[in-house]
Amino acid sequence: MTAILTMGRIFRGRWLATAGLCWLILVALAAIFAPLVAPYDPLEFDPLVRLSPPSQEHLFGTDHFGRDSFSRSLYGARMAIVIGFGSVVVALVAGGLAGMISAYFTRLGHVIMRIVDVLMAFPALLLALVLMTLLERSVVNTVIVIGIVYATTTARILFGMTLKLKGEVFVDAATCSGAGHASILFRHILPNLVSPLLVQASFIFAFAQLQAAALDFLGLGLPPEVPSWGNMLSESRIYVTRASWLLLFPGALIILSVFSMNLVGDALRDSIDPRFRNDIKGV
């Protein structure tokens, strides 16, 4: 109940962000119910209808194997969500822990944060490319690599915020009550970081889509047989003149979804605790 009220407060008067949220809910529903909604098997070849344009039977047309683009797009929504959530979890857990621990134990923190600095010196895509060339193409590896890329920014942000919270009087008070390091970090500091973490999560979710699409496009992301929006783009790029719909639909889906996630992220960011507004600004 309070969750609904809070949502109402965050999105009130923000029509664009609300539209974005609705779109994301639609994508989530498509992902969940893909097997029920999809008119065809996304992997099934049908050589008779290769490269047919959008029609009643094939809403988004078919690709060079005659696979139904609409069904593949629905399953692609699944991959988008798996990649998004997976990367968020990896980035927040790894980056969050690194940032919090670095700020709390300053000596160890110097070492960890220098490593983070080095990783951050690489452009995100380049870092992902380098890591992917070392690993096999798989869903799990893609999630881990994208997660690591965004763990760096998460670590930086949480480092600053934890440093600030560590100096709060309530932390001294908890120390005087006898609380140990773990309790201070996870019972006292972490709950105060929930809202900035949520904002961070929404942006990572969005950027992970772009990263994943770029990796797929370069042939380094998900295995080619997996129906993802990025793979759909990648496979059909040579047909751009003959079958432009093959690029149009997955491209539009990626752009709409990323844009929606950014809108939602902005709304969350503006509703955040004013103490952290500066920390989260450049995310």
Partner 1 sequence: MTDAAPLLQVRDLKTHFTFRAPSTGVLPGPKRVLKAVDGVSFDLAEGEVLGIVGESGCGKSTVGRTLTKLEPATSGEALFRGRDILGLSAGAFRPLRREIQMIFQDPFASLNPRLTIEQTLAEPVRIHGLARTREEVRARISDTLVKVGLDPKVMTRYPHEFSGGQRQRIGIARVMIVEPRLVIADEAVSALDVSIQAQVLNLIKDLQRDSGISMLFISHDLGVVRHISDRVAVMYLGRIVETAPKAAIFEKPAHPYTRLLLASIPRIRPGRQPVVDLGEPASAASPPSGCAFHPRCPLATDICRSTRPDPVDLGNGRSSACHHAGQLLGEAA
In whole angstroms, what is the distance from residue 264 CA to residue 11 CA? 8
Residues facing residue 68 across a β-bridge: 62
> Are 71 and 38 spatial neighbours (Cβ–Cβ below 8 Å)?
yes
The C-alpha angle with vertex 144 and arms to 143 and 150, in degrees rounded to 5, equals 90
Stretch that binds partner 1, among 113-121, 179-187, 235-243, 246-254 (CB under 8 A): 179-187
| Interface with partner 1, residue 271, by CB under 8 A | no
CB of 182 to partner 1, least distance (A): 12
Q: Which residues contact 77 (CB under 8 A, 6 or more apart)?
A: 27, 28, 30, 31, 34, 253
Site for partner 1 in 182-211 (CB under 8 A): 183, 187-188, 191-192, 194
Report the residue number, 192 or 228, with the smaller CB distance to partner 1. 192
| Interface with partner 1, residue 175, by CB under 8 A | yes
In whole angstroms, what is the distance from residue 25 CA to residue 144 CA? 25
CB of 163 to partner 1, least distance (A): 16
CB of 156 to partner 1, least distance (A): 23
| Interface with partner 1, residue 168, by CB under 8 A | yes
Tokens at 14, concatenated: 């923000």
> Are 183 and 97 spatial neighbours (Cβ–Cβ below 8 Å)?
no
| Interface with partner 1, residue 2, by CB under 8 A | no
Q: Which one of residues 8, 13, 47, 178 is an interface residue with partner 1 (CB under 8 A)?
A: 178
Q: Which residues bind partner 1 (CB under 8 A)?
A: 168-170, 172-180, 183, 187-188, 191-192, 194
